[in-house]
Amino acid sequence: MAKYTEDAEKLLGLVGGKDNISQAAHCMTRMRFVLVDPAKADVAGIEALPSVKGSFTQAGQFQVIIGNDVADFHKEFVAVSGVSEASKDDVKSAAAANQNPIQRVMGEIAAIFAPLIPAIITGGLILGFRNVLGDMPYFGPDGTSTLASLSQFWTGVNHFLWLIGEAVFHLGIPVGICWSITNRMGGTPMLGIVLGLTLVSSQLLNAYGVPSATAETWATYSWNFGVAQVHMVGYQAQVIPAILAAVVFNYLERFFKKITPTVVQMIVVPFCSLLLGVIAAHFILGPIGWAIGSWISDIVMAGITSPFRWLFGIIFGAFYAPLVITGLHHMTNAVDMQLIAASGGTMLWPMIALSNIAQGSSVLAMSVLQRRNEGAQQINIPSCISCYLGVTEPAIFGVNLKYIFPFVCSMIGSGIAGGLCTLTSVTANAIGVGGLPGILSIQPQFILSFALCMLVSIAVPFALTYIVGKHRGIGNEAGRAAAPAGTGDSVAAPFAAPAARLETASAVSPVSGDLMELSRVDDGVFSAGMMGEGVAIVPTGSVAVSPVAGTVTAVIEDSKHAVGITTDDGIEFLVHVGLDTVDMKGKGFELFCRQGDRVAVGDKLLSFDRAAIAEAGHPDIVVLIVTDRGRASGLDIKSKGHVRAGDDKIISFS
């Protein structure tokens, strides 16, 4: 019997049999299924399989994490199941068909905002600092002055920081949305940027001045065509008008590409599509989008400000975390931005920050319960810190969903905190800063109320998780991660204890770039440590080299985006370029190695076109994972600073 035949046969039964599989494929680390009836999948049984590192459902796909050997596992699964290999596009199409129209719309909105998150987080921090400097009257001898009013230096800093805050939230959001949609639809990104700039031009009346505009104002801010006048309205911080404008522009560009002879496309297509797109944006789509946005914000505000706002807060607070599992949580950014544009603040974002804290508090309780369990602490502690800083995926996927009850306990605590939050009308000036630092974005008059809500979101999930965990005997084991009932050994510590110690060795950076912690990667499998420990690199180069000397043991020839290497000491590494770049089918990638090749430190593994990855709408983050420690007993991982490919050491093991 082949290595994975038994597990493959069991997996077939646990996903509901061949008749329950609509499509099946694999990438570099995981099996991807589209199931006819997802409810038939026995998740606990699947995660108990020795070959399985974890599982999750996202965007209509049921994904089973295998690791570097996924290609071999998939071959044996196909052999025992008779299910043929599907293309990644087939799987995505089938997964989309599994979603209802509302899920697909929400998924698309989430995908639009995902590339904008770094800028939104930065802008949120900037506005948080300005909140402290210019809006909190808690300083001075009498405790009633702001820092800016006490010092010319802080006044200058406050004014300077607005340069970035305005760029992100007033100007950057519409421009970023137009760029992101154009990327996703395969249009010309620069034209998308230009379209966005026309929505926030200084020639237009600023969106914040529209509600108070008079007839005299419109006499200045109108295009007079003789037969008609059109108001020159800016769409600063507006989301819906930018989405509508970008979608229409991209369809126009596709249309003109289709009907225009190739020899003159360079002139005709951009001119006609951009001109008509801007006309449509300002004469038709902008006013429609403004009306839709106002309608959405009015509905949400009605829920948040009604006598039953506490109930709204409980529901939103409790069920925000499940949205994170689906990846649809980014779509709330659109609602937040609309609320800020319409009323100068949002009551949704404070509840999101509280949900982050609640998830982290459940992990904190698990950490206390498992304080003698070194293997579990390797996941618990980084996940808890990450959560308290606003990034919940490591905690959700790495800890809370593994045991289920911490996730439920955190939902209960977050719901209670959310109800209290809306009951006291806590409002944030900006979005982007989650977790404990989220208090920086809260309007000064609500600081104390939010602090009380934070206390609830810390205490309730912690207490509930600790009590339930203690009752279930969590923490009685030592040296291994305690496995939840029914999951066998698959969720034990991600690495088995080494058979012997290894002489100190190291791995160098596979690419040039800037290091970042693995927990910050926007992929639940990597950030939660399901594949193992490691580091991420924001690349400045475009060639990936071997971080160690060894044998190439895993390559996917068609996608060319990742390579697995095993050292002579049995330590397995995965070099993975980009997130979801398997969808690119090798476009923009070139392989310089094949399975079975011997490689030395610094040998070229693959090259990648960063521009092509960006145009495909994927992050170009490079991930280096230790998927199996072999005989290594410890890892020392460097996660900050700039590194050079094939030179700077980033992982040491012994």
Quick: pLDDT tens for 513-532.
Answer: 989 888 778 776 787 777 78
Per residue in 389-428, pLDDT (tens digit) is 877 777 887 788 778 899 999 999 999 999 999 999 999 9
Tokens of 450: 């939010």
86: confidence class by pLDDT, cuts 50, 70, 90: low
**pLDDT for residue 200 is more than 90:** yes
Residue 4 in contact with residue 73, Cβ under 8 Å?
yes
Helices (H), 472-583: 524-527
Mean pLDDT of 204-223: 88
The Cα–Cα gap between 566 and 632 comes to 13
Q: Which helix (H) or strand (E) holds 296?
A: helix 286-305
Arithmetic mean of pLDDT over the chain: 83
pLDDT at 567 over 70: yes
pLDDT value of position 454: 96
pLDDT digits (tens, 9 = 90+) for 340-366: 877 788 898 899 999 999 999 999 999
CA 307 to chain centre: 34
**Sign of the alpha-carbon torsion through 606, 611, 612, 617:** positive
Q: Same CATH fold, 505-653 and 5-99?
A: no
Taking 60 as the threshold, does the pLDDT of residue 570 lie above it? yes
| Domain boundaries of the chain, sorted by first residue | 5-99, 110-200+235-302, 309-471, 505-653
pLDDT of 487 reads: 38
Is the predicted pLDDT of residue 429 greater than 50, yes or no? yes
Give percent above pLDDT 70 in the chain.
88
Q: What is the pLDDT of residue 611?
A: 86
Whether 43 has a pLDDT exceeding 60, the answer reads yes
CATH superfamily, domain at 505-653: Glucose Permease (Domain IIA) (2.70.70.10)
Q: What's the distance, CA 496 to chain centroid? A: 29
pLDDT digits (tens, 9 = 90+) for 292-324: 877 877 788 888 888 888 999 999 999 888 877
602: its two tokens: 């610094």
Distance CA 254, CA 233 (A): 27
pTM of the model: 0.60
Indicate the SS3 state at residue 61: strand
CA 413, CA 454: separation in Å to the nearest integer? Answer: 10
Residues making up the chain, counted from first to last: 654
pLDDT tens digits for 589-626? 999 998 889 999 999 999 999 888 887 878 889 999 98
* Alpha helices (H) in 472-553, listed in sequence order: 524-527
Name the token pair of 195: 């379209």
Q: What is the pLDDT of residue 97?
A: 58
Query: Residue 98's pLDDT band (boundaries 50, 70, 90)?
Result: low
The two three-digit tokens of residue 521, written as one number: 């990667």
Return the bridge partners of 517, or none. Answer: 535
Average pLDDT over every residue of 40-48: 85
- Right CATH for 5-99 from 3.30.70.270, 3.40.50.11540, 3.30.1360.60, 3.40.1440.60: 3.30.1360.60
Q: Which positions are annotated as active-site residues?
A: 27
The residue ranking higher by pLDDT, 623 or 431, is 623
Least confident of 9-18, 85-94, 318-327: 85-94
- Among 99-108, 151-160, 430-439, 526-535, the range scoring the smallest mean pLDDT is 99-108
Residue 479 reports pLDDT greater than 60: no
Pairing, β 550-555 against β 598-599: antiparallel
Q: Are 433 and 390 in contact (CB under 8 A)?
A: yes
Q: What is the pLDDT of residue 384?
A: 87
